[in-house]
Amino acid sequence: MGTEQLTQFNNSRWDVVAGHLPSASSALNLLHWAQVLRFHELRKFDYGEVRNMDVYGQKQPSLFNITRITTPMFLFWSSDDTLAPDTDVREHIINKLGNALKGSFALAHFTHIDFILGLRATEDVYKPIVRLIYNDLAERAIVWWIVEVNRKNFSWMWEE
């Protein structure tokens, strides 16, 4: 959770949350996160030179090249998230995603855990995500309908 204050946490639910801790994150996942923090680079997991040769065919794990991502995405983030500092989010994600980034939503006063358990998560994160997905699907459905209705007029698009 980092060192941030849990300003949105419903304290009456602490027993429910605590009953699920620690979460099911793997040890390798936590080690990989520690490697990213230590070296300030987004690389594949470093198993050590010998195992890296088996896994990657090279001594050092390669960097993730997020400039190659083409899947459209929306990013929800906060400058109050100490586990994903805004400088890192801007430098390593927003500035590198290019046209794949369809929207960036900086939320005020959201800690890392608030995106999941925060009292405002439903209104500020979940509902907007559902609306974005719905609008994207609706837009695709309209395009599909236009193409299907006019398929014979656009048959040249499918001819070889």
pLDDT at 29: 87
| Spans of the chain below 50 pLDDT | 1-3, 160
What pLDDT, on a 0 to 100 scale, did the predictor assign at position 59?
98
Q: Is the dihedral of CA 82, 1, 108, 97 positive or negative?
A: positive
* Residue 134 identity (one-letter amino acid): Y
Taking a C-beta distance cutoff of 8 angstroms, is the pair 135, 128 a contact?
Answer: no
> How far is residue 97 from each of residues 43, 65, 94, 106, measured CA to CA in Å?
16, 10, 6, 16
Tell me, yes or no, if the pTM score tops 0.85: no
Q: How far apart are CA 26 and CA 57, in angstroms?
A: 24
**pLDDT score recorded for residue 100:** 94
Q: Which amino acid is it at 13?
A: R
SS3 label, residue 100: helix
Instruction: Answer whether the bond into residue 22 is a cis peptide, omega within 30°.
Output: yes
DSSP state of 106: E
Residue 8 CB coordination number (10 Å): 17
Please give the pLDDT value at position 124.
Answer: 95
